[in-house]
Amino acid sequence: MYHPRELYPSLGTSYRLGPPQPVADSSFLPALAEGYHYPDLDTPKLDCFLSGIEAASRTLAAPPPLPPLPPALGTEPSPPATEALHSLPGVSLSLENQELWKEFNSVGTEMIITKAGRRMFPACRVSVTGLDLEARYLFLLDVVPVDGARYRWQGRRWEPSGKAEPRLPDRVYIHPDSPATGAHWMRQPVSFHRVKLTNSTLDPHGHLILHSMHKYQPRIHLVRATQLCSQHWGGVASFRFPETMFISVTAYQNPRITQLKIAANPFAKGFRENGRNCKRERDARVKRKLRGPEAVATEACGSGDAPGGPCDSTLGGDIRESDPEQAPALREAAPAPAPPCGSSSAEAYLLHPAAFHGAPSHLPTRNPSFPQAPDSGCPAPYSAASLELQPGPGGSGYPAAAHPASFASHFLQGGPLPLPYPGPGAYLDVGSKPMY
């Protein structure tokens, strides 16, 4: 599997889809609105995929209305049911690590954003059903502001604190497997754990740009490409899981979130109570440093109280173990060995790799011999209940799959970026480095 950043370094890991939204957006609703119910899902920002189809460059229209403000994070008793909007009949998505997300959501999920980009944790990992085994699909993820408010941690809870910053450039993360067959996507959960969030408005890496102290909602889009490298698209399904809503921060505000992250994220293992980077050990290190190198050498031998234990990997996007006290939802059984994948997304790229990424036409085609993605066969560590997704409200705006030609115009409220479109037989050589 390949990361878009590898395929097209100039584009980064995600793709800019249009100019920044205007500062004053009347569609933002007052932050103090009560209740929360999702309106029709607004359209995903997918015009980049069609960049080579239409020659003229246009600007994106104003964003669709945003949903009313939900209750403050950490205070909502139960998130509303997952909603979906699509023109892919029978297709449904379920959040694999739903229990973990719910646990974070119950506290008020916070996501660190940094200048260099920070991964989301938990990551969005979904299972999809109902796809055409032979058809090819793109999996996309974007993050949209939930409301027009800026938030502030008031010691116990998040509360609106003023008007939101101007909306930032819209970017979409394209799953590195895209495009791949329905059989490929349904073979194992689809993980977006490599998505990175940044607060750098001039970010050159293609990370998703967010404002700090704002509330966001990740969305997942599934696009069917009836014919690779053509403008005929077979439909789209958009999903969002309310429990994945989060507030972006540059430093954790809620100590309970910090505890959850440390307990659940393997990379933060060192900060656990028995870790070598826990507060007790850090304090001890400071004391040893103050006492000089000799004391450090003698005490270091006896301080190895870190547990051995199994290796918990982030390969699947989330945790494999956790502190049972801190994160009961993480006590799911360890994943069983993954079934091998019979095919890979290389097939899709072989046919026309650059068509979906706007890659320069001079690039050679991708090497078909890359190894199977490490986590593509990794089963979800959780046996989360499957969400049965219902199609969005009738007449919600998405064209029927039988009218693929209208798909483009629907998404292209504005126009595509003028990116080159590779001609038939173009090559893309991305080596053999698997990214997933």
Partner DNA sequence: TCCACTGGCACTTTTGAACTGA
Partner DNA sequence: ATCAGTTCAAAAGTGCCAGTGG
Please identify which residue in 253, 326, 365, 376 interacts with DNA, judged by CB under 7 A: 253
Please identify which residue in 2, 239, 271, 356 interacts with DNA, judged by CB under 7 A: 271
Q: Rounded to the nearest whole angstrom, what is the least distance from the CB of residue 145 to DNA in the complex?
A: 14
Interaction of residue 252 with DNA, rule CB under 7 A: yes
Binders of DNA: how many residues, by CB under 7 A? 47
Interaction of residue 107 with DNA, rule CB under 7 A: no
With CB under 7 A as the contact rule, which of the stretches 107-115, 349-357, 385-393, 410-418 interacts with DNA?
107-115
The distance from CA 9 to its chain's CA centroid, rounded to whole angstroms, is 19
Nearest C-alpha neighbor of 118 from the set 2, 246, 9, 219: 246
Helix (H, G, I), strand (E, B) or coil at 190: strand
Interaction of residue 251 with DNA, rule CB under 7 A: yes
Residue 307 CB burial class (10 angstroms; 0-12, 13-18, ≥19): exposed
Q: Which two tokens stand for residue 170?
A: 């819209």
Residues between 311 and 350 that touch DNA (CB under 7 A): 311-315
Q: How far apart are CA 49 and CA 140, in angstroms?
A: 11
Interaction of residue 410 with DNA, rule CB under 7 A: no
For residues 263 and 327, the answer to whether their CB atoms sit within 8 Å is: yes
Interaction of residue 202 with DNA, rule CB under 7 A: no
Residues between 210 and 229 that touch DNA (CB under 7 A): 211-213
Helix axes 293-300, 279-291, angle to 10 degrees: 140
| Pattern 112-151, DNA, x by CB under 7 A | x-xx--xx-x------------------------------
Nearest C-alpha neighbor of 239 from the set 48, 8, 42: 42
For residue 421, what is the DSSP state? -
SS3 content of the chain, % helix, strand, coil (to 5): 20, 20, 60
Cβ atoms within 10 Å of 393's Cβ, excluding its own? 13
Residue 304: phi and psi, rounded to 5, are: -80, 65
Residues between 358 and 397 that touch DNA (CB under 7 A): 374
- Distance in Å from the first CA to the final CA of the chain: 5
Closest CB to DNA among 181 and 376?
376
Residues between 169 and 198 that touch DNA (CB under 7 A): 194, 196
Please identify which residue in 39, 270, 335, 414 interacts with DNA, judged by CB under 7 A: 270
Interaction of residue 266 with DNA, rule CB under 7 A: yes
- Which residues sit at the interface with DNA, rule CB under 7 A? 112, 114-115, 118-119, 121, 152-153, 194, 196, 199-200, 211-213, 249-253, 258, 261-262, 265-271, 275-277, 279, 281-282, 285, 306, 311-315, 374, 433-435
